[in-house]
Amino acid sequence: MATTLALSGCSGSTDSTVAVSSGPTASAAPTSSAELDAAQFAAALKRPGTTIVDVRTPQEFAQGHLPGAVNADVSAPDFAARIATLDPRAPYAVYCQSGNRSGVAVATMAEQGFTDAYHLGGRIGAWQEAGGEVVTG
């Protein structure tokens, strides 16, 4: 699915656009359930009120995750129950190791009525390769 995001304040340097705390912010929401590249994901997750959700296992999360991300393991038996406690109208930026689990998570969220959830295509490795920061712990 192709998604176009309007970026404000784009500096032209790819590395400066792929960050949680700096770089351009999307001026419009991505299409719900969209798969975004690293630069689009970085811009979209800076929209006000966005929650960054890492749907990998707690062990994978501890090895490195995006700053400010919360961990909600999509393979855990209580995943659907955990996301049911979230505001389905709020924006959610979802990612995983390969892009497969985040796609499943976003689809599950859409089934539960979430209207503003999208995910990082190309995995967390694509984020890192584009210069995106990762923290451990």
* 47-56 residue pLDDT tens: 999 999 999 9
- pLDDT (average), residues 56-61: 97
Six-digit token string for 74: 């999509």
Domain range for 31 is 7-129
2: buried, middle or exposed (CB in 10 Å: 19+, 13-18, 0-12)? exposed
Find all residues with CB under 8 Å of 12, minimum gap 6, and list them: none
- pLDDT category at 40 given cuts 50, 70, 90 is very high
pLDDT of residue 6: 32
Identify the bridge partners of residue 54 per DSSP, sorted by sequence position. 71, 95
Q: 97-119 pLDDT, tens per residue?
A: 988 999 999 999 999 999 999 99
Domain count, the chain: 1
User: Is 74 domain-assigned?
Assistant: yes
CB-based contact 100:94 (threshold 8 Å)? no
User: Considering the entire predicted model, what is its pTM?
Assistant: 0.85
Would you please indicate which residues are annotated as catalytic (active-site) residues?
A: 96
CATH number for 36: 3.40.250.10
Quote the pLDDT of residue 17.
Answer: 66
